[in-house]
Structure 1
Amino acid sequence: MSVGTRPRGRRATTPASRPPAAPAYVSGAASVAVRPALEAPRRPARVLAVFPLALYLEIRSEAEPHVVAVVTGEATRLPNAVVLAERLDGVSAGDDAWVGEGSVEVGGVSICVRRWWDPAPPLGPADPVRLAPALGLLGRARTASPRRPGLDPDGAPALLESGCRAGSLVESITAAERLIGLGPGLTPSGDDMLAGLLVALRHLGAAAGVPRAVWLADWLAAAVTYDARTRTTPISATLLHCAARGEASPEVTGVLRGVAGHQPLEPAVHRLLRLGHTSGADLAWGVQIGLSAVLAHREGR
């Protein structure tokens, strides 16, 4: 499913005889996940999609991050985002852009990054007593929510859950490979589920002292990112690379903090479920599978 609404159409082109105006300069705050792209030499990019509160730039490079999101403070703060105080107008899909040397240039605006934020903040120790009740609360909230996942629970999702709980690399990776790119939109449901799973396994496994879960996250991350760019959309491929490193939006990390006992869990789950059409529900499903696997491996130590 896609995070956003219908993209705007392409505007009329400026006559070639008109000289380009000097860019206006604004400041932004960027995720450290996009630091390699922003601090690299200046490279061309193109606008992939434009929504009311966000636009996506595809950098002409083989290295990740391949896609950078430019969002306002009201939008979901994706782990590959540069955040602005106000929206950018006059930008259409297909427009040219530039990324690098500390800035993003698009739509006649040069965005200079002045601050950085961490999309994978340390979770801290998880209270073992809270993990099992948190799993139950997460499941009940998902069941009661009108926001439904974009995939049928049978098939690959069921195999993914059983494989992760059993610690079976064969089952887990087989299921993950079936899920990559599965579903419509800029971020297909299968990718969102995998992103939630990867982040949960890595952070909750480390916080609860379950190295087997982190080991599983490492293997799944390698499998998912190996050919993500050829299996799913450019935007979703970059988000999967972020999730493989434990990077996610505040809505996801807020749920992990709730599971670990560092903040109220139920409000955090409801905030996550409200994301997009199915993205929040798919991410929550992945987090639930990850938490279930952490509990299974903790009890099996």
Structure 2
Amino acid sequence: MEVVGVSAIGRRALAALSASGGTARVMAPLSTSVYLVAGAEIVWLGARASALHPRVIVCDAGWRPGEAGGPGAPVRVRAWPEAPWLPAAMPRGGGATLARSARGLVAAVPRLGRPDGFGALLVGARPPFPLDGATGPARALARACERGDPWGAARAARRLLGLGAGLTPSGDDFVGAAFFARALLTSAAGPDAVEWRRAAETIREAAHGRTHPISAALLGDLLTGEGPAPLHDLARALAGAAPEAQALEAAERLVSLGHCSGWDMLAGFAAGAGALQLVE
């Protein structure tokens, strides 16, 4: 398969294609996207409506996922933008505001529709099977984040890895988004940030062998504060004390991702921001 038109590209995808000369192989063809391996990196092709992400290659109109072939099929990307998509910078000193605003967001979650996956925790409900048996570790992760305990969070997180169905299980999305929030809340140079990064690294290492390689890659991004554009937009809106409507619009785009991945990430983000305990 040859891909001619690319309208946007994430920074990890740009680096991978630049290193591989635009060549890749199909890893997992899906109905609306195609996961590829370019060099040593997992990236994916998506249609124009795809959410931006560090690993996405957004194709122009007319691209059809079904043309990519099965696993192992070669893919050639002919050209791509020189500059990658990057999320807008977070407001300086917005960590405390983000934590406060996240509590207000949780209170407004019913306006987003019926939660799915771990999103049920946001309204004090029990998640569906098999997640219903993991509310203990999920709550433990939320409590550890609320009290600023990176190693307690890591212990709870390891019990959630690989839990759920699909290429990106709910447990991975929940854990990743919780640590995404912690990466934004802690000062880059402070001792707390160092401990949270060390704890996150233990989760990244533990994920290999416990979950699908695609999910392990996406989880690794979240652990370092990189994720889909709606998650970044939500965090920035909360940290900047933006109008509630702006935060809810970003949250609505987030929960539309995947079968329930967006809801899992919203719940994990709330846990990481110390807001999930309000609905226990």
TM-score after normalising by structure 1: 0.74
For 1:24 and 1:281, the matched residues in 2 are separated by: 32
Flag the structure with higher helix content.
2
SS in 2 for 1:157: helix
Residue 146, structure 1, aligned to residue 114, structure 2 = yes
Partner of 2:252: 270
User: For residues 158 and 37 of structure 1, do their structure 2 counterparts lie closer, same or farther at Cα, with a shift above 3 Å needed?
Assistant: same
Deviation at 1:60, TM superposition (A): 6.2
Deviation digits for residues 30-76 of structure 1 (CA, Å, limit 9, x no counterpart)? 21123332222459743232234311113463xxx3x1111112122
Paired residue secondary structure (2:202): helix
Does 268-277 or 89-98 show the bigger shift? 89-98
Paired position in structure 2 for 1:9: none
1:105-127 Cα shifts (integer Å, max 9, x gaps): 1xxxx331223334443212255
Gaps of 5+ in 2: 119-130, 276-280
Contact map agreement 2:145 2:273 (CA 8 A) in 1? no
* Higher Rg of the two aligned structures: 1
Question: In structure 1, how many angstroms separate the alpha carbons of the residues matched to 2:31 and 2:114?
Answer: 24
CA distance in 1, matches of 2:216, 2:265: 15
Residue aligning to 2:230: 251
Q: Distance in 1 between matches of 2:22 and 2:209?
A: 22
* Counterpart secondary structure, 1:292: coil
Q: Distance in 2 between matches of 1:27 and 1:218?
A: 34
Which residue of structure 2 aligns with residue 13 of structure 1?
none
Q: Match for residue 287 of structure 1? A: 269
- Work out the CA distance in 2 between the residues paired with 1:42 and 1:180: 34
1:260 aligns with 2:248: no
Residue equivalent to 2:69: 92
Alpha-carbon deviation of 1:94?
1.5
Which residue is equivalent to 1:76?
A: 51
- 2:142 maps to what in 1? 161
Say whether 1:117 aligns with 2:84: yes
* CA distance in 2 between partners of 1:131 and 1:95 (Å): 43
Partner SS, residue 181 of structure 1 = coil
Displacement of 1:216: 4.6
Are 2:255 and 1:240 aligned? no
SS in 1 for 2:174: helix
Aligned length: 256
Q: Distance between the aligned counterparts of 1:129 and 1:241, measured in 2?
A: 25
SS at match of 1:90: helix
